[in-house]
Amino acid sequence: MSGVVYLIGAGPGDPGLITVRGRELLGRCDVVLYDALAHPSLLEHTRADAVLRFVGKRGGRFETPQAEINAALVEHARAGKIVGRLKGGDPLLFARGAEEALFLAEHGVRFEIVPGISSPVAASAYAGIPLTHRDHASSVLFLTGTPRAGTGPDGHDYRRLATRSGTICVLMGLSRVGEIAAELIRHGRPVDTPAAVIQRGSWSSQRVVEARLDELAGACEGAGLGGPALIVIGDVVRLRAQLAWFEARPLFGRRVLVTRARAQAGALCERLRELGAEPVLAPTIETRPVLDEGLDDAVARRSAYDVAAFTSANGARAALDATWRLGLDARAWATVKLAAVGPATARALAERGLRADLVAEDHRGEALGAEILRAHPRARVALFRARAGLDVLPDVVRRGGGEVTVVTAYETLPARPELAEPLVDQLSRGELDAVTLMSPSAVDGLAATLGPRAGELLSRAALVSIGPTTSDAVRARGWRVAATAATHSLEGLVDALVATGAARGDQAGSSSRARGASGSGGASKPSV
């Protein structure tokens, strides 16, 4: 049985810019060969059993020869596999997608080309530079700045390029920016033509240098720009002063460590990206349901309790999974009041068709215990929680005259050992600006992952906690809490992170944007 190859455009970097079709096909693939410029988080859309192979190329360094990539595509397809070839930007615009498609056609392999948002279109938009504008440019020309190996000069007619009135976009030309600018000027382009270089467009690490055409090379060198980068030349660059929307986001440029379990981290990572940050996912704990008779017995005997209490979404899901396992459904809980520690836990119940009768306003275990006693004095409570959970809720209920049966619904496990080295490395180099902590167990997991140097390493990042209980766990380790969420929820955590980032970065970020707008050649890179 013959397979198929999908040549998928990954977009320019921001993982949200992949097309719906591209994301859908990634989920079907048996094998994915991906490039360096495809955002790593896009691989989360692949199947758990998919074979992932990096075949990236960066700055002329060929990790995998093109002939080997072509052969691998044919080999996997002939073996009946569904193959994804994930390429940065668009597969056909200044890329090798057309060559790969021709090779597949010559070998009788079925393929589909899935267009992607091209890097010049996206990078310029994220830099606040429209490529065309009725008052500034009615055309745009895309050029490659990297001639084909062995061909000598790039072959562009600079005499004609210099006199055209539209926008010029040069891809892969950073190493030749001085030569390109000089040739345009020599053939008549005014020296004061506005120009910009956009590094890593649409990534949270995006940097933009603006300068006159004759000063552009020096400005890039002074800013230490590297690839991948796009050169934009023309009057449209002037509009950036008003349209630089991406860098104005409150967490732009910050790299934030997300310590939550991978299955639960999606919403937080998405929200961080919306605010301009780059989430770095490194789960310091993993959760696993406890499949034993105690959990099933508690669910089977649910009518013996007045209240079923859940202090985490994990506990709620584990209890409801046990319900289904016993051949029951949501109707089985009709005679029991359901209590949730906060909105995230209440949402976990709602996903299974159940509405929480009680939700703690303070989103803490002791607050939920007090809420239960107010609504149901001397209540009989079944608490579904982690194996090593805190006893604050049981203590509150028991002191108030109620009864509590603690049911182990899941357990937390330490992070995989292979996580430690890259995390220590990034913290050592000061590459992480903030660390988000969602529970005391996440704090314990982080300590175990980092080892005896944890305090030293974490002193270089802002530790932001979801609530007082988690903050107490941080302080118990001797670490400093930069901020605690006022409302103990994911959105509250993000708000606390934004407030911390504003205090540290807004003033510097504003001044760097002002320098860029003035055309002085400064890099638009906020301090974090």
The secondary structure of 117-155 as a DSSP string is: --HHHHHHHHTT--S-BTTTBS-EEEEESSPPTT--S--
Assign 201 to helix, strand or coil.
coil
Q: CA-CA distance, 101 to 113, in Å (whole number)?
A: 8
Residue 7: DSSP 8-state: E
CATH node for 288-414: 3.40.50.10090
Residue 403 CB neighbours (<10 A)? 14
Strands 403-414 and 229-233 come out as: unpaired
Predicted pLDDT of residue 147 = 64
Count CA atoms closer than 13 A to 194's CA, side-chain side: 20
Q: CA-CA distance, 237 to 373, in Å (whole number)?
A: 64
**Among 39, 239, 205, 227, residue whose Cα is nearest residue 145:** 227
Q: CA-CA distance, 336 to 198, in Å (whole number)?
A: 59
**Among 449, 326, 302, residue whose Cα is nearest residue 384:** 302
**For residue 120, which amino acid is it?**
P
Please identify every stretch of the chain with a pLDDT value under 70, giving residue numbers as ranges: 1, 57-62, 147-154, 263, 292, 415-417, 502-528
CATH node for 255-284+415-509: 3.40.50.10090
- Which option is the CATH number for 4-117: 1.10.10.10, 3.40.1010.10, 3.60.90.10, 3.30.300.130? 3.40.1010.10
Residue 147 CB neighbours (<10 A)? 14
Place of tokens 């072509």: 70
Query: Catalytic amino acids?
Result: 35, 57
The pTM for the full model equals 0.76
Q: CA-CA distance, 467 to 363, in Å (whole number)?
A: 8
Between the alpha carbon of residue 22 and those of residues 40, 88, 453, the distances in Å are 15, 12, 42
Between the alpha carbon of residue 293 and those of residues 112, 130, 299, 300, 494, the distances in Å are 51, 63, 10, 10, 39
Q: CA-CA distance, 510 to 518, in Å (whole number)?
A: 13
Q: CA-CA distance, 499 to 193, in Å (whole number)?
A: 39
Sort residue 471 into left (φ over 0), alpha (ψ -120 to 50) or beta.
alpha
Q: CA-CA distance, 353 to 351, in Å (whole number)?
A: 6
Predicted pLDDT of residue 61 = 54
Assign 86 to helix, strand or coil.
strand
Predicted pLDDT of residue 231 = 95
Q: Where in the chain is the domain with CATH 3.30.950.10?
A: 121-247
Q: What are phi and psi of 198, to 5 degrees?
A: -110, 115
Copy the structure tokens of residue 390: 């805190």
Which residues, in sequence order, are bridge partners of residue 32?
A: 52, 84
Q: Where in the chain is the domain with CATH 3.40.50.10090?
A: 255-284+415-509, 288-414
Predicted pLDDT of residue 323 = 93
Predicted pLDDT of residue 154 = 60
Q: Given this structure, which CATH class describes domain 121-247?
A: alpha beta
Q: CA-CA distance, 305 to 379, in Å (whole number)?
A: 8
Residue 240 CB neighbours (<10 A)? 25
